[in-house]
């Protein structure tokens, strides 16, 4: 009897979760046919992948606190492999002192070691009838022939191979959208790409930058912080506390002479402490039933008309709940928003010196105590540090800013699989997504302290941060904003994570699958159409072919589904989970195949 052959492409956290589900479901059955599982990971780091490389520097830390990191499945963890542990328990068992505090943000290498250890635990728990083969290789193509899938790959030595399998799970992470970066980098031409179009691995990609160079960094998100730290702390600089407990930077003289950061908005992310997000939250006004009540049968919600008003209400409620607590006042907790509005009106009548909450001010560089004055970059960062340090239980600003993360589960049910109108999806993807992520999913407080210390030391320059004009020059680049003299820089680094802005950004693998008709781009149709730049899947994660038929043999999970699903956090086991259904489908298909006489 030939084994039923399956493959998982991408063995970072999502691939690990799919493997764990397969092992657990196979051990539940008294007898299952022989199965052969092929695991492909281009980095060779099974379980951790590239993002959580155990060999990366310790200054690169998570933006996910320790208490949230857990590879186990289910609420009570009763249906997972017994020897699996959460990060905190694993750290104690393995003598890892870097992850002993539940509210701390561990180095990514520590989480990588945890994921790699968890991978070994899962493999060791596999039943005898599951044969596992690990391939340190990049999958270059998938072809469908007579119901079987041919997986072409190239290993780290350049050797090519092809195997036939019955089913595939594709969890290729951010590599899904790196197509143009990997194959079409052009430092010259009419529209030249940056000198460093993708920053990872940091030490290798930034090695050309010399201490005499000025560097401009495009993007002010989490990758920007990694890049700045690699050019400073990663080159021997040190951060220390002065007597006043103020963080200061001590240079090594090996960092660039100057670092300039910029983005379209010019705004940094809002930092967070590790204590945020520990408690479950039940939204007061952003409710799926309420949102759908005002929509006619057969119609889809409109972001501006139906979603945004409830988001504003929920955010406003959280702002005043924290503000009122500081005045020892009880807040109205009912569902009638007009009563809540009357309560806030009475508060402002009694406290006329207090500024009213304005949702739009969350996206401006202002203090909520005086939103009439826009703050300079350093002053705004210092303001954010103070608010984040106070936390959402004391800072009304932080309570409001972190609202998006509290209601994102509900928003997923609205957004997923083209749930809104085409115009609404375009508007959210292009205008609101990055804004909401900026205020709710920011870096650890300690990392933003470092950015402030670097600005105060004169090494990090944010004076050109808002949407500057960028031009290639004979010796580098020219950066210009209105009202300031153009600045010459030697290197331009793109510190943004690739996203699926267009099919051109797809990886070579996804593009070849599209060319062969195995996948198609998801189109959201209505009175107009919106190209999502995402491979189309049905609700179990199975891909839709070019002819509109569903392939049960190919499943996407995690980042490759972004655009059809929302917020596929790398470490989340709950959000958009296609691993459980995939594992059961593989077992059912193997049983069916071996029951049919040949």
Q: Quick check: 69 pLDDT over 80?
A: yes
14-67: per-residue pLDDT in tens?
Answer: 999 999 999 999 998 877 789 999 999 999 999 999 999 999 999 999 999 999
Q: How confident is the model at residue 515 (pLDDT cuts 50, 70, 90)?
A: very high
Q: Quick check: 208 pLDDT over 80?
A: yes
Task: Report helix, strand and coil shares of the chain as percent, to nearest 5.
Answer: 35, 20, 45
* Distance set, CA 100 to CA 88, 90, 94, 104 (Å): 6, 9, 11, 8
Are residues 196 and 491 in contact, defined by beta-carbon separation less than 8 angstroms? yes
Q: How confident is the model at residue 230 (pLDDT cuts 50, 70, 90)?
A: very high
* Distance set, CA 361 to CA 243, 306, 365, 400 (Å): 35, 21, 8, 11
359-379: per-residue pLDDT in tens?
Answer: 999 999 999 999 999 999 999
* Token couple for 228: 């700045």
Are residues 167 and 555 in contact, defined by beta-carbon separation less than 8 angstroms? yes
Q: How confident is the model at residue 76 (pLDDT cuts 50, 70, 90)?
A: low
Q: Quick check: 188 pLDDT over 70?
A: no
Quickly count: other Cβ atoms within 10 Å of residue 569's Cβ. Answer: 17
Return the pLDDT at 593.
78
d(CA 116, CA 121): 9
Which sign does the torsion angle of CA 507, 513, 519, 524 carry?
positive
Return the pLDDT at 592.
85
Q: If residue 580 lies in a helix (H) or strand (E), which one and from where to where? A: helix 579-595
Return the pLDDT at 33.
82
Return the pLDDT at 10.
96
Q: Quick check: 245 pLDDT over 50?
A: yes
For residues 539-555, average pLDDT:
97
466-513: per-residue pLDDT in tens?
Answer: 999 999 999 999 999 999 999 999 999 999 988 888 898 899 999 999
Return the pLDDT at 187.
54
311-325: per-residue pLDDT in tens?
Answer: 999 999 999 999 999
Q: Quick check: 106 pLDDT over 90?
A: yes
Return the pLDDT at 77.
56
151-165: per-residue pLDDT in tens?
Answer: 999 998 899 999 999
């Amino acid at each position: 009897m030939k084994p039923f052959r399956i493959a998982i492409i991408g063995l970072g956290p999502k691939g690990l979760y799919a493997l764990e589900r397969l092992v657990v479901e196979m051990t539940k059955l008294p007898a299952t046919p022989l199965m052969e599982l092929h695991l492909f990971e281009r980095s060779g780091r099974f379980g951790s992948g590239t993002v959580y490389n155990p060999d990366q520097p310790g200054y690169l830390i998570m933006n996910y606190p320790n208490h949230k990191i857990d590879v186990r499945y289910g609420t009570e963890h009763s249906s997972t492999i017994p020897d699996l542990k959460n990060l905190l328990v694993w750290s104690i068992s393995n003598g890892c002192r870097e992850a002993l505090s539940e509210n701390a943000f561990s180095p990514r290498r520590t989480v990588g070691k945890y994921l790699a250890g968890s991978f070994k635990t899962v493999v060791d728990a596999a039943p005898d009838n599951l044969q596992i083969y690990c391939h340190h290789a990049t999958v270059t193509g998938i072809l469908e022939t007579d119901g079987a899938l041919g997986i072409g790959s190239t290993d780290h030595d350049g050797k090519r191979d092809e195997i036939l399998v019955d089913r595939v799970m594709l969890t290729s992470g951010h590599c899904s959208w790196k197509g143009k970066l990997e194959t079409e980098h052009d430092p010259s031409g009419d529209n030249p790409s940056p000198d460093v179009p993708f920053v990872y691995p940091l030490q290798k990609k930034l090695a050309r930058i010399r201490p005499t160079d000025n560097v401009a960094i495009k993007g002010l998100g989490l990758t920007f912080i990694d890049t700045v730290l690699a050019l400073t702390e990663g080159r021997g600089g040190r951060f220390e506390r002065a007597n006043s407990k103020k963080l200061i930077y001590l240079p090594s003289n090996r960092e660039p002479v100057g670092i300039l950061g910029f983005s379209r908005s010019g705004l940094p992310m809002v930092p967070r402490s590790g204590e945020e997000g520990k408690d479950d939250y039940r939204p007061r006004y952003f409710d799926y039933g309420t949102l759908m009540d005002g929509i006619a049968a057969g119609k889809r919600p409109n972001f501006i008309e139906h979603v945004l008003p409830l988001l504003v209400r929920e955010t406003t409620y959280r702002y005043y709940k924290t503000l009122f607590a500081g005045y020892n006042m009880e807040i109205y907790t009912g569902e009638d928003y007009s009563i809540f509005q009357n309560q806030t009106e009475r508060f402002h009548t009694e406290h006329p010196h207090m500024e009213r909450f304005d949702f739009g001010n969350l996206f401006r560089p202002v203090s909520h105590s005086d939103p009439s004055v826009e703050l300079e970059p350093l002053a705004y960062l210092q303001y954010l540090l103070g608010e984040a340090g106070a936390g959402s239980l004391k800072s009304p600003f932080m309570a409001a800013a972190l609202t998006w993360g509290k209601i994102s589960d509900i928003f997923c049910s609205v957004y997923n699989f083209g749930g809104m109108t085409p115009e609404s999806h375009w508007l959210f993807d292009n205008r609101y997504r990055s804004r909401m992520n900026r205020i709710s999913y920011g870096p650890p407080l300690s990392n933003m302290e470092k950015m402030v210390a670097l600005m105060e030391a004169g090494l990090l320059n944010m004076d050109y941060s808002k949407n500057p004009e960028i031009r290639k020059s004979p010796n580098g680049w020219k950066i210009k904003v209105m009202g300031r003299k153009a600045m010459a820089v030697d290197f331009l680094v793109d510190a943004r994570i690739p996203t699926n802005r267009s099919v051109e950004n797809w990886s070579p693998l996804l593009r070849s699958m599209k060319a062969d008709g195995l996948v198609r781009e998801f189109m959201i149709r209505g009175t107009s159409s919106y190209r999502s730049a995402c491979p189309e899947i049905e609700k179990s994660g199975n891909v839709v072919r070019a002819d509109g038929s569903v392939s049960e043999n190919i499943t996407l999970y995690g980042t490759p589904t972004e655009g059809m699903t929302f917020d596929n956090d790398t470490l989340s086991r709950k959000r958009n989970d296609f691993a459980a259904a995939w594992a059961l489908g593989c077992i059912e298909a193997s049983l069916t195949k071996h029951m049919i006489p040949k």
